Amino acid sequence: PAGPRPIIEATEVSRNFGAFVAVDRMSISVREGEIVGLIGPNGAGKSTFFNLLSGVMRPSRGRVVFDGADITKLSPSKRARLGMLRTFQLSREFSRMTVLENLLVAPQVQLGEDLLPLFTRRREVDEIERRHFDRAKEVLAIAKLEHVENNRASDLSGGQKKLLELARTLMVDSKLILLDEPGAGVNPALMKTLSDMIQMLRNDHGKTFLIVEHDMDLIASLCTSVTVMAEGRTLVSGSFDEIRQNRQVLDAYLGG
Ligand code: ADP
Ligand code: MG
């Protein structure tokens, strides 16, 4: 009965802030090729759990295994080298750079390498490795951002910024991509582009996704399975059709 193997497995992961338990023995298993949605009311612990998976925070207890290796104590950049990437919000530093430049520095950003050598030769595009440049051009096409490649990232629309955040992960080889609210602030037209892009990356490039998202239409159209969190724990998981009929899910949302 062996389906695709799990690419990431968290087992009884917890995180306390003082006496408060934000994530309480959460377990999750994501198989290769899945697009798993993580939803739940505000304060459920989604962002904290996401941070525990991506390595931004350490769990108080529990274990995270990625692609067969225990990564519980690894930094985000070490996780990235193993093939687990997450999106980064555009910080002020990167907003000043163009879309193309954001892609060219993405491997260094994700892998935690020193940015300085790259910045010093930033204007000399022909000095930047052709490999990165060629890949950036491919990624611009995938993300439908070719027409704005020389625009400052700060001048993009909310939706284009989200496309760029996802595009930056494509500059590095990866198996699993963690998305934190990819749909936030995205208009309906670009939501379709974003959704198509995620679907295509899964179908044609073999990527696996774990997505924290509030937009139920995006979750319903994309996700192969959904885990609902409430009060730091899994309330229920299953297909979107299964979880939407669950009384507790309705209560958790309606009760806030
Ligand atoms: P969600 O993303 O589902 O809205 P969070 O993971 O952001 O939930 O937060 C879960 C709970 O943990 C909330 O009650 C929040 O106030 C608390 N929390 C999150 N981060 C911290 C922190 N750094 N220090 C103290 N409490 C925190
Ligand atoms: Mg959150």
Q: Measuring from atom 13 of ligand 1, which residue has the nearest CA?
A: 43
Q: How far apart are CA 189 and CA 191, in angstroms?
A: 5
Residue 51 in contact with ligand 1 by CB distance below 6 A? no
CB-based burial of residue 14 (10 Å sphere; 0-12 exposed, 13-18 middle, 19+ buried)? buried
| ipTM of this complex prediction, to 2 decimal places | 0.98
118 pLDDT more than 60: no
254 pLDDT more than 80: no
> Mean of the pLDDT values across residues 25-31?
97
- Measured in whole angstroms, the distance separating CA 12 from the mean position of its chain's CA atoms is 21
Q: What is the mean pLDDT of the chain?
A: 90
27 pLDDT more than 60: yes
Residue 47 in contact with ligand 1 by CB distance below 6 A? yes
Whether residue 204 contacts residue 33, with contact meaning beta carbons closer than 8 Å, is answered with no
> Mean of the pLDDT values across residues 36-42?
94
Percentage of the chain exceeding pLDDT 90? 74
Give the start-to-end residue ranges of the domains of the chain: 1-83+175-256, 89-172
Q: 3-state DSSP call for residue 1? A: coil
Rounded to a whole number, what is the distance in angstroms from the first to the last CA of the chain? 39
Residue 256 in contact with ligand 1 by CB distance below 6 A? no
Q: How far apart are CA 140 and CA 170, in angstroms?
A: 10
Residue-wise pLDDT for 125-168, tens only, equals 565 578 888 999 999 999 999 999 999 999 999 999 999 999 99
Q: How far apart are CA 183 and CA 186, in angstroms?
A: 5
Return the CATH class of domain 1-83+175-256.
alpha beta
pLDDT score recorded for residue 202: 96
> Mean of the pLDDT values across residues 64-85?
96
pLDDT score recorded for residue 114: 60
Whole-model pTM? 0.91
Distance 79 CA to ligand 2 centre (A): 21
> Mean of the pLDDT values across residues 221-247?
93
Please state the length of the chain: 256
